[in-house]
C-alpha cells in the first residue's frame, strides 16, 4: 500500500511539473518577450512606442472604438440572453431541446464567417438588401461600420450569456420563487427583484466573457468595419503593414491590450466576490405553462431571436451548394465546392 501511494504521488508531481513547464513555455515566456520588445529600441531601453500610441489621437480613437463596440455588444447580449434563459428555464417552450441545439450552433462558427454571411445577406448587393430595395422600395441601413459590427457580435455572443445564465437558474430553489409569489411578487417584478440578483455573479461572469470576446475580435471589424477601425485591427496592421511592420510598436499596443483586459478581469472579479453567495436547489425550478397572449409572445421571442441569429449559418449552407465559376456564382447547384475542399 505504501509503495502504491508513493507511485500515485510521484505521478501527480510529474503532471504538476509538466503543467508548470507548459504554462511557462506557452504563456509566461511569450508575454515576457512581448513586454521586452515593447520597451527595446535600436539603441536600448525606450518608451517611444508607448508615447507614439498615446500621443496620436488616431490610436486612442481605435481603442475607444473597441471599448464602444465591446460595451454595447455586452449590453445587447445581456438584454437578449438573460430574458431568453429566463423564458427557457421558467416556462414550457415547445421544441425546447431543438431550440437549445440551435442556440449552441449559433455560437460555434468563427465570427468572421458570420460577418461574411451577413455581407451576403445585407451587403450592398445582398439578398435581404435586394428584397427590400426591389420589392418593398425600402433602403435598409448599411451592414458596414459600427452597426454591422454590433449586429454580428451580438448575435454571435448572446448564446454564451444564455448558457451561463441557464446554468445559474437551474440552481435556484423553487421555494424562493413560491415565497415571492405568496407575497404578490410575480412577473417582471419577480424577475428583477429575485431572479436577476440570484443570478448576478453568473451574469457578471458572462458579461466579462462576452466583453473579452468582443474586445479581442479581429475578423468582424476587418470584414465589415471599413472606416470604423478597432484596436485588434490596428495591432494586426502594426505587425503586418503594407509598408513594413513596426514590431516594437505592435508589441507595445499588445501590452496595452493585455493591461486593459487584466484590469477589466480584476474589476469583474471584485464585483463577483461582492455579489457571491452559495445556493443549493433542494427543490429545482419547475417549468410552468404560460397562457394566452403571454405564451404566444414567449414563443415568438425565443424562436425569432434564434432564427435571426442562425440565419447566417443557413445561408452559408445554402451558398455552399451553388455552382461557381472562379470567384463568381453561376446558375445551378452542385457539390463541386465540397469536392474541391476535400
Joined together, the cell numbers standing for residue 329 give: 456564382
CB atoms closer than 10 angstroms to residue 193: 12
CA torsion sign for 147, 150, 154, 156 is: positive
Q: Compute the average pLDDT of residues 231-249.
A: 76
Average pLDDT, the chain: 84
Q: Compute the average pLDDT of residues 184-208.
A: 86
Tens-digit pLDDT profile for residues 129-144 = 888 888 888 888 888 8
pLDDT, position 67: 92
Q: How large is the angle between the packed helices 231-239 and 247-275, nearest 10 degrees?
A: 150
Report all structural domains of the chain as residue ranges with CATH numbers, in order of start.
Answer: 49-314 (1.10.3720.10)
pLDDT, position 111: 72
The answer to whether residue 1 scores a pLDDT higher than 70 is no
pTM, entire model: 0.84
pLDDT, position 326: 67
Least confident of 236-245, 273-282, 311-320, 331-340: 273-282
Q: How far, rounded to the nearest angstrom, does the alpha carbon of residue 276 sit from its chain's CA centroid?
A: 23
The more confidently predicted of residues 271 and 32 is: 32
Amino acid at each position: 500500500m505504501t509503495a502504491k501511494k508513493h507511485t500515485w504521488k510521484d505521478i501527480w508531481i510529474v503532471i504538476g511539473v509538466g503543467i508548470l513547464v507548459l504554462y511557462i513555455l506557452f504563456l509566461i515566456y511569450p508575454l515576457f518577450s512581448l513586454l521586452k520588445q515593447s520597451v527595446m529600441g535600436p539603441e536600448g531601453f525606450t518608451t517611444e512606442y508607448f508615447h507614439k500610441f498615446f500621443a496620436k489621437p488616431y490610436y486612442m480613437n481605435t481603442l475607444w472604438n473597441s471599448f464602444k463596440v465591446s460595451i454595447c455588444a455586452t449590453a445587447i447580449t445581456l438584454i437578449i440572453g438573460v430574458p431568453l434563459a429566463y423564458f427557457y428555464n421558467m416556462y414550457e417552450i415547445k421544441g425546447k431541446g431543438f431550440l437549445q441545439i440551435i442556440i449552441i450552433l449559433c455560437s460555434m462558427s468563427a465570427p468572421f464567417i458570420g460577418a461574411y454571411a451577413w455581407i451576403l445577406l445585407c451587403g450592398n448587393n445582398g439578398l435581404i438588401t435586394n428584397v427590400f430595395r426591389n420589392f418593398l422600395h425600402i433602403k435598409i441601413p448599411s451592414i458596414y461600420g459600427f452597426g454591422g459590427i454590433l449586429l454580428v457580435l451580438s448575435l454571435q455572443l448572446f448564446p454564451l450569456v444564455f448558457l451561463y445564465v441557464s446554468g445559474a437558474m437551474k440552481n435556484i430553489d423553487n421555494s424562493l420563487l413560491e415565497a415571492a409569489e405568496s407575497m404578490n411578487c410575480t412577473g417582471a417584478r419577480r424577475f428583477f427583484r429575485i431572479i436577476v440578483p440570484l443570478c448576478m455573479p453568473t451574469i457578471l461572469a458572462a458579461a466579462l466573457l462576452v466583453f473579452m470576446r468582443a474586445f479581442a475580435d479581429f475578423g468582424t471589424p476587418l470584414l465589415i468595419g471599413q472606416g470604423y477601425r478597432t484596436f485588434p485591427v490596428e495591432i494586426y496592421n502594426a505587425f503586418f503593414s503594407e509598408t513594413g511592420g513596426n514590431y516594437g510598436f505592435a508589441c507595445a499596443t499588445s501590452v496595452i491590450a493585455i493591461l486593459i483586459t487584466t484590469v477589466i478581469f480584476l474589476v469583474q472579479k471584485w464585483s463577483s466576490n461582492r455579489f457571491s453567495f452559495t445556493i443549493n436547489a433542494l427543490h429545482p425550478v419547475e417549468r410552468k405553462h404560460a397562457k394566452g397572449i403571454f405564451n404566444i409572445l414567449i414563443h415568438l421571442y425565443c424562436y425569432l431571436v434564434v432564427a435571426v441569429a442562425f440565419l447566417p449559418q443557413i445561408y452559408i449552407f445554402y451558398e455552399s451548394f451553388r455552382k461557381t465559376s472562379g470567384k463568381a456564382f453561376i446558375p445551378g447547384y452542385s457539390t463541386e465546392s465540397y469536392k474541391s475542399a476535400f
